[in-house]
Structure 1
């Protein structure tokens, strides 16, 4: 079969020392793969513009073979070229077409540097966008102070119910179980040193100051933050955001402000609720493992945990709520009108919100290191 003849290249001296390159065989992709050095050989002869080419003996020529010859010729037809009419059409398709060049292979270190640059640039861009949302939020608050009738009470109320009231069950369960686990593990160590009574100090400080607000924020970020992002994303997919813009309704005033206000109000209350359930779980475990009764727990707790810790927990919870809502809205508006973007940005929203919550908690721990300690 003609398709099985390998591609060959023959050099013939012609017309006073000029070279005639005679091509024969099958110049298709299947045959060319078997002769890897043929491309360099063609390019070396094509460098001489006086070289003549004879392609009449080629049995089979496909687009791959024509492209190799076309690139070797410098993306133009040689002056002295003989070929079959049916092969002419394969070269005509490449005339005026920009052939993409292969990108040079980068070293591993260069790839790492490029990836790091893109990561930092993306982080900086998103940080500026979040700051822009925060600035727009301040402007909206100023507008509402001058126009109290425009406050979106209905949206704020609905968000408080969805993010706060409907989260009471899961936060109570998680808080109660964490209190039991923390109390049980602490009791095992305190028994060794005969310091069972200090379990009240450990539970009070760790739960009211740290674990309660942090657990509530993480649960709200995973539950309500993702819901806010998905809700805005669905509005993008269904073109509701475009409809709001067409009607002159502000996105920030009707979507961002209610979410931020609701979470800023509801998260401190949820943190108190979660802390209370964690303390109840701790009391149950302490009474079971150490024999500390409930009355003794209630009498010792105010002395072990100053009231300042409750205010610190309140303050950080409000900041948590503000940042969770801002991040959820930020990633919601980044969603493109397709389902893949919806899933990716919702995941990014939850991860970013939880990360920011932990970072803010670390900042609060450093700033208020010596405050509220008994």
Structure 2
């Protein structure tokens, strides 16, 4: 079927200071008349007869409204326009007025220091309450799985044990070994001055087993696995996979969160033990090369200097660090909304918050152990 012919828009001058509009005032019909309308002085017109307009769209309405606004002080009268065209013209006029008001509105002043501080405090409180709510939901989900063990998903747990534990052995071992070397090397000069070379075993053993090995392992896992948890869940949230899981009746916490927390609770103490061994071995290597303390002498002194309680002090920190890292990573993943930039932002936030809370927890452990004389 052929399209109906479009009558071009036209402007006539039937009398002095009067215009008559006719034709199709649409995107296809006003191309030839736009420049003519711009050239007309608005002050030379007092009446516009729009009865001859056959069609009107937003382009034509915008041109008419633009001409009317040019002659706003001249009192131009528009008459004869169809009711449906009048409504469209009024809508365009309202939109133009709103845009003009927005452009004329002065830029808002930057918030004061007190206002910025209040907003930051409110945001921190909101996130803290959301985290508390998330921890409560995880606790309820874990209790439900304990009541119904068949709901535990062992395949994701084993997968996370491999990805967060076995795959992390090389980087954890290397950094712990180097850290043991650094600690022994830094203490070698001071111990040599007093002829106390053998006490390098005390320095390396206590520092690595109580503090450095659990802390460096937790920081590595926070940057490696915690960020992966946030990125994975955040991407699923952006692509609406989590909403699809809820629609299918699959609990996201049971499938995505609990396996990660359980796996990290298992592997982080084991990784800490591995870091203890590699850190002490690094100290042994440096003690032999710098202080002339053999492996046998080092181990004999290490057994005497480091008690079982000192060793367990470091190991017992690992499950707490694991719970912090897994919970923060998953929590920030669920708070991802929008697009890819939000995934990166929440991933970065999860790493920063995990490391911060791990260090805070380590400081609290130090205070508690000091009070308990451990």
Q: 1:148 to 1:278 in 2, by over 3 A?
A: same
2:74 is aligned to 82
Is the contact between residue 152 and residue 258 of structure 1 (CA under 8 Å) also seen in structure 2?
yes
Segment of structure 1 superposing worse, 195-204 or 177-186: 195-204
Alignment partner, residue 350 of structure 1: 351
- TM-score, length of structure 2 as denominator length: 0.74
Q: Which range is displaced more, 291-300 or 123-132?
A: 123-132
CA distance in 1, matches of 2:252, 2:141: 11
Contact 1:306/1:372, CA 8 A, preserved across alignment: no
Q: Is the 8 A contact 1:308 1:371 kept in 2?
A: no
- Once the two structures are superposed, the pairs formed by residues 20-169 of structure 1 within 5 Å of their partners are 56=43, 81-82=73-74, 92=93, 97=98, 99-100=101-102, 101-106=105-110, 111-169=112-170
The answer as to 2:313 corresponding to 1:312 is: yes
SS in 1 for 2:187: helix
Q: Kindly indicate whether the alpha-carbon contact (under 8 Å) linking 1:268 and 1:313 is maintained by their aligned counterparts in 2.
A: no
Asked if structure 2 preserves the Cα contact closer than 8 Å seen for 1:307 and 1:372, the reply is no
* Alignment match, 2:10: none
TM-superposed CA distance for 1:238, in Å, is: 2.9
8 Å CA contact retained: 2:201, 2:299 = no
- 1:171 maps to which residue? 172
Structure 1 residue 253: deviation in Å? 1.1
Q: How far apart are residue 292 of structure 1 and its match? A: 0.6
Measured after TM superposition, the shift of residue 302 of structure 1 is 2.0
C-alpha distance in structure 1 between counterparts of 2:306 and 2:356, whole Å = 28
Pairwise CA distance, 1:260: 0.9
Moved over 3 A (4+): 83-86, 91-96, 370-373
Tell me the equivalent position of 2:299.
298
1:179-237, Cα deviation, whole Å (9 max, x unpaired): 11110011012112222222111111110000000000000000011111111122123
* CA 1:244–1:292: 2 relative to 1, 3 Å: same
Is contact 1:308–1:372 with CA below 8 Å preserved after alignment?
no
Q: Distance in 2 between matches of 1:131 and 1:299?
A: 47
> Deviations 1:16-47 (Å, cap 9, x if unpaired)?
xxxxxxxxxxxxxxxxxxxxxxxxxxxxxxxx
1:242-288 C-alpha deviation (Å, 9 max, x unpaired): 21111111111111111111111111111111111011000000010
Q: Distance in 2 between matches of 1:267 and 1:213?
A: 9
Q: Unmatched 5+ residue regions in structure 2?
A: 1-41, 45-61, 79-88
The CA distance in 1 between the partners of 2:357 and 2:221, in whole Å, is 13
Partner SS for 1:249? coil
* SS in structure 2 at match of 1:292: coil
CA offset at residue 145 of structure 1?
2.0
Q: Residue 184 of structure 1 aligns with which residue?
A: 185
Structure 1 pair 94–212 and aligned structure 2 pair: CA distance change class (3 A): closer
How many residues of Structure 1 are paired with residues of Structure 2 in the alignment? 300
Structure-2 separation of matches of 1:347 and 1:270: 23
Matched residues in 2 for 1:95 and 1:234: separation? 40
Q: Distance in 1 between matches of 2:195 and 2:372?
A: 28
Q: Distance in 2 between matches of 1:173 and 1:267?
A: 16
Give yes or no for contact 1:208–1:275 (8 Å, CA) kept in 2: yes
| TM-score, normalised with respect to structure 1 | 0.74
Superposed CA RMSD: 2.9
Q: State which drifts further: 258-267 or 283-292.
A: 258-267
Partner of residue 236, structure 1: 237
| CA distance, structure 2, for counterparts of residue 137 and residue 310 of structure 1 | 31
| 1:304-345 per-position Cα deviation (integer Å, ceiling 9, x unaligned) | 111112222122110000010000001101112411111111
**Counterpart in 2 of 1:257?**
258
Q: Relative to 1, partners in 2 of residues 1:342 and 1:120: Cα closer, same or farther, differing over 3 Å? A: same
1:133-154 deviations in Å (ceiling 9; x for gaps): 2111221222122211111111
Q: Contact 1:160 / 1:262 at 8 angstroms: preserved in 2?
A: yes
| Partners of 1:335 and 1:345 within 8 A in 2 | yes
C-alpha contact (below 8 Å) 1:56/1:83 kept by paired residues: no
